Amino acid sequence: MLRRTVIIGGLGATAGLTVAGCSTPTHASSGTKTGESPVGGTWQSPSATPISLTVTPKAGSTKASPAEPVTVSVAGGKLASVKVVSGRKTVSGAVQSDGVTWRSTGALAYGKTYKVTASVLDSLGAQIEKTSTFTTIKPAHTAGTTFQANAMSTLTAGGTYGMGQPVIVAFSRNVTDKAAAEKAITVETSPAVEGKFYWVTKSIVHWRPAKYWTKGTTIKVSVNTFGVNLGNGVYGSTDAKTHFTIGRTLLAVSDNSTHHTKVYIDGKLVRTMACSNGKGGYTTGADGQQLHFWTHEGPHVVLSKERTHSMSSASYGLTDPANPNYYAPEIVKLCTRISYSGEFLHAAPWNGSLGKANLSHGCINLSTADAQWVYDNFLVGDVVDVRHTPKPLPIGDGLGDWTVSYDKYGA
């Protein structure tokens, strides 16, 4: 009768079979020793292949990245099962098709200790169990991520925007390691284009291509900052993603010298509008600051549309009623905003100089019919390029991203 004994050793030890007898129906002589055949040969017991197990993160790690998967791999055997737990939470995962590798699919968390238990079958079928533990990074602070259309509104995922809309990523805390943040941001476009980053503040970064987006371009943005040190112990709280599409391309050219604004859609002139832009000149504001009344020159990006908006000279710092440029609050209709400082295209039925002279405090005055058409047809992200004025639009006054050449953008 054959008898098999399974000897299970520790990790890396052999686990094999030993045979107590290997007899035939013929009786062995009294001089035959155990382990010898009756015909005099020595029988060698089979042994298992040595096993080695590799667990990542390394056992004892105290600053493991929760963004990296847990992997377990074995040499000399096969994985029967792997369990990764922290408290009552089990991290999901699966043995891969090769039978010797396990990889987690579930998310880890910051500042948690995880226990990895791996059961391995050696080459003879014996089971060995191995455990290890590691702890993930505990950040001093975490930073969330949001996507903006501009400083006044969030970007609508799946929305349609104009050709001047930059990608805007806003973090909830200051970022000191900008290179790490930029590496974590992926912008995929179809058709493919290259682009550059520009940090507006320590927590807000823009990305734009070399030229205006083309009609129908799709943009997908992924911010994979979970587990990434953004500087000074600030880590991304979660990964985030969004996407948007560029609609028809619309460019409005407002010429300060001809007093007309021409609108081009997909390269074709579709409307010419008489206008009255900023009258120019200077005055002194309530805090002693110098104020001017030109419409800023350069490409503006549409920020919002408001059916009515209360306007007053106090909104830009002019509060003295004795100043000839002062005006009290009044409700203005059909307003399309193009700068944070208060430049709009809007209805100005009181202005009798449309198409003839520049009389506004800086806005682009239009007839009610033209202002209605703008309000109905312009998208956030469309471009209004103001020309022939002496005051360039500052890059931070609205989305002035297109006021600088691509080679200097972000420099």
Positions annotated as catalytic residues are 346, 363
Rounded Cα distance between 101 and 223, Å, is: 29
The residues pairing with 100 across neighbouring beta strands, listed in sequence order, are none
b/e sequence 167-187, b meaning 16+ C-beta within 10 Å = bbbbbebebeeeeebbebbeb
Question: 204 by DSSP, 3-state: which?
Answer: strand
User: Phi and psi (nearest 5°) for 55?
Assistant: -120, 130
Rounded Cα distance between 78 and 101, Å, is: 8
| Cα four-point dihedral sign 278, 283, 286, 288 | positive
**Which residues have C-beta within 8 Å of that of residue 324, sequence separation ≥ 6?**
none
Rounded Cα distance between 196 and 160, Å, is: 22
Rounded Cα distance between 312 and 318, Å, is: 9
Q: What is the CA radius of gyration of the chain?
A: 36
Q: Look up residue 154 and give its amino acid.
A: T
Query: How many residues comprise the chain?
Result: 411
Rounded Cα distance between 224 and 318, Å, is: 45
C-beta of residue 274 within 8 angstroms of C-beta of residue 354: yes
Q: Look up residue 326 and give its amino acid.
A: Y
Burial of 392 (0-12, 13-18, 19+ CB in 10 A): middle
